Amino acid sequence: MDDALSEAFYQARVEDVAARVKPKRFEHIQGVAQTAESLARIYGVDPARARLAGLLHDWDKGMRDGEIIQRAHDLGVDAQVGEWVVENMPEVLHGPTAAAALGRAFPQIPADVLEAIRCHTTASTTMTDLSKIIYVADTLEPSRTFGEADGLRALIGVVPLDELFYRVYKFWTMALIEHDTVLHPDTIKIWNTIAKGKSRAKKEKYA
Ligand SMILES: [Fe+2]
Ligand SMILES: [Fe+2]
């Protein structure tokens, strides 16, 4: 069995991914892999794991809503994420389905790489540094051109990884509310987990 962190495994998966998604998406994916690798070097995470998770994070992104919902049912992801999410937020399913499918197809992929892929769409309350890096890289890779991107990119290497993740997560949460979009049921839990630490630090500062 190929070592999942070897160059040969990586290059074989590059070919797989190129065949699964459109060219524009492939450009995004390559940007995420490169950005994740560089964030990993800056923040002390294994660059090979970051590059692989970046390459594979949108493994199922080329599927339409009907297809991804069916795939979530076929892979048992519906039991993991809940039927409400399957029905109301099909756009978040490609993280969990990719992790489940890749884990079956390539059992040698490390568990933390699969977990980073799984939670890249919704985040979670128990993210590792690797998961935070993939989440951030997905938003800040070079082909993303939204207004706040450069301001967020300027924080890389300047603020700790937790703060960088928080700023990117806050950007997305506010953007979703701004666009009247449904929120994942875990969003309030994730927000409160981060905000609890922030408000405690503020209280201590002004005590
Ligand atoms: Fe994605
Ligand atoms: Fe992505």
pLDDT in tens, 50-69: 999 999 999 999 999 999 99
Distance CA 90, CA 177 (A): 18
pTM: 0.95
Instruction: Give the Å distance between the CA of 43 and the centre of ligand 1.
Output: 22
Cα–Cα distance for residue pair 39/54, rounded to 1 Å: 11
**What is the rounded distance in angstroms from the CA atom of residue 161 to the CA atom of residue 43?**
7
Alpha helices in 44-148 (DSSP H): 47-56, 65-74, 77-81, 83-88, 94-105, 111-118, 129-140
CA 182, distance to chain mean position in Å, is 19
Mean pLDDT value of segment 109-125: 97
State the angle between helix axes of 94-105 and 65-74 in degrees (0 to 180), rounded to the nearest 10. 50
Ligand 2 centroid to 57 CA: how many Å?
A: 6
| Ligand closest in space to the Cα of 92 | 1
pLDDT tens-digit readout, 9-40? 999 999 999 999 999 999 999 999 999 999 99
- Rounded Cα–Cα distance for residues 125 and 193 (Å): 7
Transcribe 75-89 into DSSP letters.
TTHHHHH-HHHHHH-
Q: In whole angstroms, give the CA distance from residue 71 to residue 27.
A: 25
Distance (angstroms) between ligand 2 centre and the Cα of 96 equals 13
Length of the chain: 207
Q: How confident is the model at residue 169 (pLDDT cuts 50, 70, 90)?
A: very high
Residue 90 Cα to ligand 1 midpoint, Å, equals 12
Minimum mean pLDDT among 1-10, 20-29, 155-164: which range?
1-10
**97-107 pLDDT, tens digit each:** 999 999 999 99
